[in-house]
Amino acid sequence: MEIRKVTDPEFADYGKVLEGYDFKGLIKALEDKTPCPEGTVYVGSCPDLEYTDAFGVLQNNVYGGMPIQIGYCNGHNTKLNCLEYHRDSEINMGTKDFILLLGKEGEIENGKFDTSKVKAFLVPAGVAVEVYATTLHYAPCSAKAGDGFKVIVVLPKGTNGPAPAISAKCEEDKWMTACNKWLLAHAESSEAKDGAYVGLTGVNIDIAGDI
């Protein structure tokens, strides 16, 4: 699979690099205060990350004053498994290079997304990127064989918490698995086995041979 860079023109359809900000303290806290397991772990709100100078900048400058949470997704991964989206942008940055597997919400057809449309983008260590609300994404991937990753995840406060108790009014409502989280799973994923909506068709992408 071709691995592009977030500085390549193609990334403009999926997100943008945030420039002018100094997030070194946040990156150091991520490195020093969070684990890197063999699998992957997601924590939506981490006090060690939120009690940094970056919190105010991210909440007020980047999110325009909206309440936010700063968490992380760390570990080892090379597979797609699922794609999700939110009603807002997500900010990511890592201690090492990492890769994002991305798609476009607008290319979901009849509740299905063909994984052949997924593109891979390398995010360099320390670089902050905004992943747009209309961009399908999921867990980061390692950029080098055997390497793990530690990646900041900034989202509006409450995202990925308990899903609201609703009665489905449309097809999309059935894809909601958490607060502000709509998810399409691949049939081979553990999420699908746990009951998540199977909305990914095609190969469950694995970039292990490409890094």
Contacts of 110 (CB under 8 A, 6+ apart): none
Which tokens hold the place of 70?
Answer: 């700063």
What are the backbone dihedrals phi and psi of residue 53, each rounded to the nearest 5 degrees, phi first? -65, -25
Specify the 3-state DSSP secondary structure of 111.
coil
What is residue 206's predicted lDDT score, i.e. its pLDDT? 98
**CA-to-CA distance for 133 and 33, rounded, in angstroms?**
28
Q: How confident is the prediction along the chain (211 residues), in pLDDT tens digits per residue?
A: 999 999 999 999 999 999 999 999 999 999 999 999 999 999 999 999 999 999 999 999 999 999 999 999 999 999 999 999 999 999 999 999 999 999 999 999 999 999 999 999 999 999 999 999 999 999 999 999 999 999 999 999 999 999 999 999 999 999 999 999 999 999 999 999 999 999 999 999 999 999 9
**CA-to-CA distance for 151 and 139, rounded, in angstroms?**
9
What is residue 11's predicted lDDT score, i.e. its pLDDT? 98
Distances (CA, A) of 107 to 111, 118, 148, 152: 10, 10, 30, 27
In this structure, which topology does domain 3-210 adopt according to CATH? Jelly Rolls (2.60.120)
Contacts of 85 (CB under 8 A, 6+ apart): 105, 133, 134, 135, 136, 137, 182
What is residue 115's predicted lDDT score, i.e. its pLDDT? 98
Q: What is the CA radius of gyration of the chain?
A: 16
Answer yes or no: pTM beyond 0.95. yes
Which tokens hold the place of 169?
Answer: 């009014």
What is residue 211's predicted lDDT score, i.e. its pLDDT? 95
Specify the 3-state DSSP secondary structure of 156.
strand
